[in-house]
Amino acid sequence: MGRPTTSSQQESTPQDSLTVRDNRTGKVYTIPIEDNAIPATAFKAMKAPRKPGEREENETEKGLRVQDKGFLNTAVIRSEITYIDGDAGVLRYRGYPIEQLALHSSHLESAYLLIYGSLPTKEQFKFFESEVMRHSVMHSDAEGFFRSFRYDAHPMSMLTSAFAMLGSYYSEANPSLQGQRLYTKGDKASLETMDRQIYRLIGKATTLAAMAYRVRQGRNFVTPPTGLSYTGSFLYQMDHLSEEDYKPNPILEKALDVLFLIHADHELNASCTTVLQTGSSLVDPYSAVAAGCASLYGPLHGGANEAVIRMLISIGSPENVPAFIEAVKKKEKTLSGFGHRVYKTSDPRSFIVRKTADEVFKVTGKDALLETAMALHDAAMKDEYFVKRKLAPNVDFWSGLIYRAMGFPLDFFPVLFVVPRVVGWLAHWRQMMLQEGGVKIWRPRQVYVGPTKRDYVPVEERVAVEGARQTPSQVEHGGITKRTMLATFKGKSKL
């Protein structure tokens, strides 16, 4: 792999390979291509002597490194789960087109598919669904945990903390306590332990999310009901007060199920990669999911549909759309809900969500922002500036409008992203735990460009370095801290 080849060997070089000539040394290397990918480690064999004056930190003589900021073209794992063709607008779960699953399947059935690799039989699905729903009930101590948050705490902060808290309940699920091969053995006992945590995390995801919601509403928590669907139970836990025989609206229940299904997985996005990065240390799955939740909390990931609504509110009415369009072109405004890091034509999920939106609006009535959204959609799709840049509406453009029409607060939108995405995180985590060759901890390389070796300077001999980013910022103090700084007391000089 990545070894130098002679001229005679080059003539018989396999077709499925890459020939690389290192102009520094004149050596030629042959690197195998498998599934249209080459091993980055092959470049470590491409060594060269350090040039005069070259930094030793470049480690030239130790082999070539591959630099890829933001993982734009780096494959870190071989996966059988989700396939995306961004140029063609294709999304498939285990080979099944997302359009077919959204039409015929359900979120929990697709969860089974993503995690275990095939669509379940009636009996298999009944078992899986019953285990997930059976594990939705939380320990009573969780009430005290959620009540410890401020009334205005962001629900994502609560949910992230809650997933980590879950891990403290199940010592049998912690490789740090039970042995690092707890989930990697692949035997019957190991698989049973793994599946139990999968049932718990999927089942309790809706319960934890509903508890975070009820904290914000100042309401008592609701025990998960029996006899309802996954999304029906979620809506019940969020909304039930004291009504007898309460059942959520079936249209809203179905719409939420479709939204959960199409958000269940999206290959190695930022949060899924975070789960795998964290999981590669063989930490328990609750900690790994909490890390993924924290990643999704970021505005570049899970806050996109919320950004769409805030954008539409800022536009106001349809007549303001042309001015907004021009401001976007001048880079004075940000266009949210259009374009995608992966999809270069259209997001296949956006068509599904658009149809779902129509069904929801029949029940809830059209949202006041819908006309503005339609005007923006039509203007952008006809404008050469956006067409040329392939900025088509994505799933976030319509899903935000659905969530708003259903009455969810803006800061709860990322939570509605996390709950279904737990399925995808667990599918990839399980696959990594059971992969051939075991789990290797993810340890990326860096290209060090900092100072070369320098000797320590005594404090009285140092020259001050000034400037932004090079010195600590001055922060403004108020309240108790400000008054304490003005007070006199013993030991103040040491503060």
Read off the DSSP letter of residue 369.
T
DSSP H helices, 227-269, are 230-239, 250-262
Measured CA to CA, the distance from residue 204 to residue 315 in angstroms comes to: 38
Nearest to 372 by CA among 440, 322, 431, 299: 322
Q: Which residue has the tokens 């940000």?
A: 334
Tell the burial category of 75 from Cβ atoms under 10 Å away from its Cβ (0-12, 13-18, 19+).
Answer: middle
Q: What is the 3-state secondary structure (H, E, C) of 209-230?
A: HHHHHHHHHCCCCCCCCCCCCH
Cβ-count burial 214-223 (b if 16+ within 10 Å, e if not): bbbeeeebbe
Nearest to 155 by CA among 302, 332, 350: 302
* Residue 350, φ and ψ in degrees, nearest 5: -65, -35
Give the CA distances from residue 295 to residues 72, 156, 290, 427, in Å, rounded to whole numbers and listed in that order: 18, 10, 9, 17
Measured CA to CA, the distance from residue 487 to residue 179 in angstroms comes to: 54
Give yes or no: 266 in active site: no
Give yes or no: 141 in active site: no
Strand order in the sheet with 96-97: 82-85, 90-93, 96-97
**The one catalytic residue among 263, 340, 377, 428:** 340
Give the CA distances from residue 373 to residues 312, 313, 317, 319, 392, in Å, rounded to whole numbers and listed in that order: 7, 10, 9, 11, 13
Measured CA to CA, the distance from residue 393 to residue 378 in angstroms comes to: 10
Give yes or no: 104 in active site: no
Strand order in the sheet with 27-32: 3-4, 27-32, 17-22
**The one catalytic residue among 154, 301, 383, 411:** 301
Read off the DSSP letter of residue 137.
P
DSSP H helices, 67-221, are 98-104, 107-116, 122-134, 141-147, 155-167, 175-178, 188-217
Q: Which residue has the tokens 């992969």?
A: 435
CB 265 within 8 A of CB 82: yes
3-state secondary structure of 463: coil
**The one catalytic residue among 284, 347, 367, 396:** 396
Residue 83, H or E segment = strand 82-85
3-state secondary structure of 159: helix
Question: Annotated catalytic sites, by residue?
Answer: 301, 340, 396
